[in-house]
Structure 1
Amino acid sequence: MIRAADLRGADAVAVGRLVEDYLRQTESEKVAHGAAPAPASDALPDAYRREVDDPADAYGDCRVFVAELDGEVVGVVVLRPDAEGVEIKRLWASPEVRGRGVGSGLLDAAIAAGSGDVRLSVWDWRGDVIRLYESRGFVRVPSWDARPALVCMRFSPREGS
């Protein structure tokens, strides 16, 4: 089941945990792919702490949806409004539930919730995720991010992609 997150209540801890898992995986991959130097400690960069510790505050201007399986929150998507529609800032399904449609359900909810274009950026080494985005009609677009390993993508309901 995909539903709006209750960041001021029952879902705050689960969303913080899922976002932390996402950020730790991403930081590890960035090091492994040469996109970032190895950190001095296993602590998350300070820029991310608020998302983990207080998602209600960090995502105050966002729409957040969670995926639930068997009563447990196992996935999250964070949508930040922008001038063109929304940007997917975080999309994560717990590794234990991958292959069960959680990521697809969250992505479909993000597309349905958008009022206009849906944008995102994804690391180029995440081929499976890129294929998921492309299967939903996202296309690669010129980058709005200076980091060379990021692929920027857009879904436009006006164009069907």
Structure 2
Amino acid sequence: MTDRREVAIVPWPGRGPSAPDRLSGLLAAYHLRTEEEKGEPVPDVAALPDRYRAEILDPRTAFANDVVLVALSGGDTVGCLVVTAPVEKRSEVKRLWTDPSFRGRGVASELIGAALARCAKDGVSAVGLSVWKWRTGAITLYERLGFAVTESWDERDDLVCMERAV
């Protein structure tokens, strides 16, 4: 029987005790996996590009103007997502990551749903995201949640840009 504990989506750091090490761990896993998938694996966080390492080492500063949502199951932080501060009524979803042991349980969908609700509350009219083209499962999820491929706003090869109205 699979453990199907309920997942709560909350802003980080939140009112209660936060788990910065666990958030940092999720961000590290995200960036290390991304570098590996790009064919540029690095042995550890210290070898990541400066901007990614800064997010991991001090997420409070790195995302000071953004909203960070975390998924909690019991006392565990099992997923994260960053929503950038709105610019001209548009925000971007970044750093969506679910602990591999919690995948397939709807955590990513719940994080995105909470992000969209937050954006609607903040008067955002559109949410964008970029995803590596080889992350076909993520692209399928985003399409299922109403995102559509749009013209790229990013110069990096192999990125698919998507957007949806709020």
1:78 deviates by 0.4
Deviation above 3 Å: which 4+ runs of structure 1? none
1:4-153 paired onto structure 2 within 5 Å? 4-6=11-13, 10-31=18-39, 37=40, 42=44, 43-81=47-85, 82-114=87-119, 115-153=124-162
TM-score when normalising by structure 1? 0.88
Give the CA deviation at 1:26.
Answer: 0.4
1: distance between equivalents of 2:79 and 2:64?
19
Q: Gapped runs of 5+ residues in structure 2?
A: 1-7
Deviation readout 1:130-161 (Å, 9 max, x if unpaired): 0100001000000001112000000113xxxx
Residues 69 and 111, structure 2, Cα contact 8 Å, conserved in 1: yes
Q: Which runs of 5+ in 1 are unaligned?
A: 32-36
Query: What TM-score do you get using the length of structure 2 for normalisation?
Result: 0.85
Equivalent in the alignment of 1:34: none
Report the alpha carbon displacement of residue 59 of structure 1 after superposing the two structures with TM.
Answer: 0.4
Offset at residue 7 of structure 1 (A): 7.1
- Give me the identity figure in percent: 42
Which residue of the partner structure matches residue 2 of structure 1? 9
Q: 1:38 to 1:128 in 2, by over 3 A?
A: closer
The total of aligned residue pairs comes to 151
- Alignment RMSD, CA only? 1.6
